[in-house]
Structure 1
Amino acid sequence: MAVLLALLCGAGTGATQERPLTGTAGQVPYATGGIGQEEREALEAMRDQYNLRLTFATRGSGALLANVALAITDGRRGPVMTLDDCGPHVYVKLPPGSYTITAVVDGVEQRRRVTVGRPGGARELVLYWPGTDTERA
Structure 2
Amino acid sequence: MTDIQAPAPQVWPSLWANDARALIRFLVEAFGFEETVVYSDGDVIQHCQLDWPPGGGVMLGSARDDPGSPWQLTPGTFGAYVVTDDVDALHTRAVAAGAEILRPPFDTDYGSRDFMARDPEGNLWSFGTYRGEPRKRN
Q: TM-score range by the shorter chain?
A: under 0.3
Larger relative strand fraction: 1
Which structure has the larger Rg over C-alpha atoms?
Answer: 2
Report the TM-score, using the length of structure 2 for normalisation: 0.27
Which structure's relative contact order is higher, taking Cα pairs within 8 Å and 6+ residues apart? 1
